[in-house]
Amino acid sequence: MRRAVCPGSFDPVTNGHVDIIARAARLFDEVVVAVGVNKGKSRARLFTSEERMAQLEEVCAAFPNVTVAGFEGLLTDFCVAHDVHAIVKGLRAVTDFDYELQMAQMNSSLADVDTVFVPCSPEYSFLASSLVKEVATFGGDVSGLVPPEVLGQLTARLAERAAEED
């Protein structure tokens, strides 16, 4: 049984993430989408871990071999606990590669796990959750960038945040 983890912070999940999850689901028998914490981004968090997991469960319902789980701490600890030896990461452009290579090498030094890099579809090469949030915050149209299940929640959460700031 070939099993892989697709990790990320998914705040929010974008169509680019779904593209990578779909590719992983074709390559592996089982895929666990692991919703974690990126310490570098945690201050700008929009959705709680539970909300992101619920969004991903809805979006991934289309893939029968994909499940969703949350994790805190090291990704490699999650991999060991779930007996997973492959991490799937999407590459949008060469600029992703330096950082992703460093993380892949660190992860494989911590546990018996390898990282498989999957190039994203070119139509998503500019897509990032942080940019989606910024564009949506200023009223830009992100309807083609996030799954329809997530769009309403994104708009509502940003409106709540804007009201809090007033």
Residues that bind ligand PNS (CB under 6 A): 7-9, 36, 38, 41, 74-75, 103, 106-107
Pairing status of strand 114-119 against strand 66-70:
unpaired
Residue 26 vs 41, nearer CB to ligand PNS: 41
Residue 101 vs 158, nearer CB to ligand PNS: 101
Write down the least CB distance from residue 107 to ligand PNS, Å.
5
Phi, psi of 111 (to 5 degrees): -155, 170
> Is the bond into 148 cis (omega within 30 degrees of 0)?
no
Write down the least CB distance from residue 56 to ligand PNS, Å.
12
The residues that are catalytic are: 17, 41, 92, 129
Residue 38 vs 153, nearer CB to ligand PNS: 38
User: What is the rounded distance in angstroms from the CA atom of residue 45 to the CA atom of residue 158?
Assistant: 11
Write down the least CB distance from residue 9 to ligand PNS, Å.
4
Give the Cα-Cα-Cα angle 120, 126, 127 (nearest 5 degrees). 80
Residue type, 80: V
